[in-house]
């Protein structure tokens, strides 16, 4: 990383090649795409800020890049450390509550032992047995046990509330770590997990599984012509169509990266997957992207489809599907190759 900053500093002071500008612009775009929320900015605001820096980098405006990235990294570090501290405090609160219960029970147990000892002594001397003292002792024991039960119930309710809050935060963090913030589909990390699970289940149950990898045609031209905001709308537009077409519970749709999307369809043969792919391509073709104060933009996609083969590894299956997508793009785009 230090080498990267050194190179970036030299670039801002000594000049850079067009290749270096393009590389830097791509890196900034990726940093924005996978950024997360901090106390200073939302995820969307951070992403847009990185996109603006990426556009400036392409034109040679580099002076603001290093300060912004350094600040963003510090903010992310503070954000993560703050959440970790919150979780650590919650755990300590739970441990403290448990320790308090144990101490209170220990004190009460000592008092109960004294009361029981009194009863024991009285029963050993029946002639000195006082019914009022006996009743008072039994009432004291009953009161202590009732108070303990009530206190335990209140403490457990508090602990349950804290645990539910913690579980909600962890579940939210889990969703954010596996969801693409722009489209709402799963992200690449979640896809790779699903890919390996699908291959593993296929080897056990031997059910058919297909993969559909699609790419928006001429997306860079769309971005350059209409801007990144319109490009974002195009990505969301395609994602919405994927969700509408691939709507079974067993269908897994993700944004793989950039303008590429991937769908894993379990218990689906290649023939059925081809029908779904053609239906998706047709819907996108017939649904231009609305543009404010302008003509709707006609969009098409190229799709590669393949069925998982017996004993095929996950990486090999993905590469084979990617090769089919490449073939669809090389043979004219706006088509399905299976």
Contacts of residue 283, Cβ cutoff 8 Å, sequence gap at least 6: 241, 244, 245
Active site residues: 259
Q: Encoding tokens for residue 241?
A: 């169509």
What is the rounded distance in angstroms from the CA atom of residue 212 to the CA atom of residue 70? 39
Pairing state of beta strands 336-337 and 301-307?
A: parallel
Q: Encoding tokens for residue 306?
A: 């393949």
Q: How many CB atoms lie within 10 A of CB 109?
A: 12
Is the distance from CB of 142 to CB of 150 less than 8 angstroms? no
What is the rounded distance in angstroms from the CA atom of residue 96 to the CA atom of residue 82? 21
SS3 292: coil
Reference 308, options 321, 319, 297, 317; nearest CA is: 317
Give first-to-last CA distance, the chain, whole Å: 42
């Amino acid at each position: 990383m230090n080498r990267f900053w050194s190179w970036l500093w030299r670039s801002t002071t000594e000049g850079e090649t067009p290749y270096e500008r393009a590389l830097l612009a791509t890196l900034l775009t990726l940093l924005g795409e996978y950024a997360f929320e901090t106390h200073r900015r939302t995820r969307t605001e951070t992403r847009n800020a990185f996109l603006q820096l990426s556009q400036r980098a392409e034109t040679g405006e580099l002076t603001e890049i290093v300060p912004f990235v350094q600040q963003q990294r510090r903010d992310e570090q503070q954000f993560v450390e703050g959440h970790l501290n919150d979780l650590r405090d919650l755990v300590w609160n739970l441990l403290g509550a448990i320790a308090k219960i144990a101490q209170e029970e220990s004190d009460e147990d000592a008092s109960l032992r004294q009361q029981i000892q009194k009863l024991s002594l009285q029963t050993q001397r029946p002639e000195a047995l006082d019914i009022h003292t006996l009743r008072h002792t039994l009432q004291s024991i009953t009161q202590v046990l009732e108070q303990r039960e009530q206190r335990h119930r209140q403490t457990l309710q508090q602990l349950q509330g804290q645990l539910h809050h913690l579980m909600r935060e962890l579940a939210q963090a889990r969703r954010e770590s596996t969801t693409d913030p722009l489209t709402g589909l799963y992200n690449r990390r979640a896809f790779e997990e699903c890919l390996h699970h699908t291959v593993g289940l296929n080897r056990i149950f031997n059910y058919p599984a297909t993969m559909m990898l699609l790419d928006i045609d001429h997306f860079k031209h769309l971005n350059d012509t209409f801007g990144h905001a319109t490009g974002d709308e195009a990505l969301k537009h395609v994602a919405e169509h994927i969700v509408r077409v691939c709507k079974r519970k067993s269908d897994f749709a993700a944004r793989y990266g950039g303008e590429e999307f991937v769908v894993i369809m379990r218990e689906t043969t290649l023939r059925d997957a081809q029908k779904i792919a053609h239906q998706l391509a047709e819907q996108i073709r017939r649904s231009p992207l609305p543009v404010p104060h302008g003509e709707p933009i006609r969009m098409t996609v190229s799709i590669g489809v393949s069925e998982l083969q017996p004993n095929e590894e996950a990486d090999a299956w993905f590469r084979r599907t990617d090769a089919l997508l490449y073939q669809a793009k090389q043979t004219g785009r706006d088509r399905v190759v299976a």
